[in-house]
Amino acid sequence: MKYSRSLAICSVLLLAGTLGGCDQFGAAKKALGPPEVPSDAQLKKISYMTAENSGPQGRKAYTHLWEARSCADFETALRWNRPPNVAGGSFGKHMVYLTDTVPADLPSESEVFLRGRIEKGDPLVAGGWVWIVKMQDGTRLQAAEMQDFITKQDQETAGNSQATTLDKPSKPGRAFCGQAVFQGLKGKDPNQEDKKIPLFSMLYALDREK
């Protein structure tokens, strides 16, 4: 199975240290207007997650995203760290939050948070995982995470038997979510081999019961 060259390039850049901040959220730049952040009620629901004053100008940031008990909690933490109207992160871009569908006009190389349900998950021969994910509106997408990124996120939970990012990545029906880069309509639909579907290069992924 062949994937976009961007997947391999991103892995090489990570090893070279160029993308050393791929999983570090919160390096936000100036927003146009007040940051669009979750409500106090939403933040209260994730009060169990570790937060430190490590963001810009000492702003609070959620630093252990693997603590999220659900994809909804992960999204809330990330929306606080990376408000959609504030450019930031390692790529200096606005985060696009995809929870219902993939917009037809989504530009390639967009940095996104995506959420859906696993239809199929398989390990890659060279290491890493590839998934077919179904979104709320029925849209299917293909997501792949290279071993370099999985190893990096596993290092965050090393020595903690209760902590996990990818728990049951091959189980159909599991909630799947994470930070990714959109590669365009380059994925393969397992039900229609000649049909191209959205392909995402995962930078940090979780699977949860809900």
Length of the chain: 210
Do 196 and 184 form a contact (C-beta atoms < 8 A)? no
Average pLDDT over residues 134-144: 96
Confidence label for 27 from pLDDT (cuts 50, 70 and 90): very low
Residue with tokens 């240290």: 17
What is the spatial distance between Cα 129 and Cα 117, in angstroms, rounded to a whole number? 15
Average per-residue pLDDT in the chain?
85
Q: In terms of DSSP bridges, do strands 175-189 and 140-146 run parallel, antiparallel, or are they unpaired? A: unpaired
Among 50-59, 89-98, 102-111, 192-201, name the one with the lowest average pLDDT.
50-59
Cα–chain center distance at 149: 11
Q: How far apart are CA 94 and CA 198, in angstroms?
A: 19
Taking CA atoms, 50 is separated from 6, 14, 61, 168, 192, in Å, by 32, 25, 9, 23, 43
Sequential DSSP letters for 166-185: SSSTT-TT-EEEEEEEEEEE
Asked whether the predicted pLDDT for residue 11 surpasses 80, the reply is: no
pLDDT for the residue 81: 95
**Distance separating alpha carbons of residues 210 and 203, to the nearest angstrom:** 20
- Three-state DSSP at 87 gives coil
Residue spans of the domains in the chain: they are 5-208
Give the burial class of 24: count Cβ atoms within 10 A of its Cβ; 0-12 exposed, 13-18 middle, 19 or more buried. Answer: middle
Q: Look at residue 5 and tell me whether its pLDDT is greater than 80.
A: no
Using alpha carbons only, give the angle 166, 169, 170 rounded to the nearest 5 degrees.
165
* Topology, domain 5-208: OB fold (Dihydrolipoamide Acetyltransferase, E2P) (2.40.50)
Average pLDDT over residues 162-181: 94
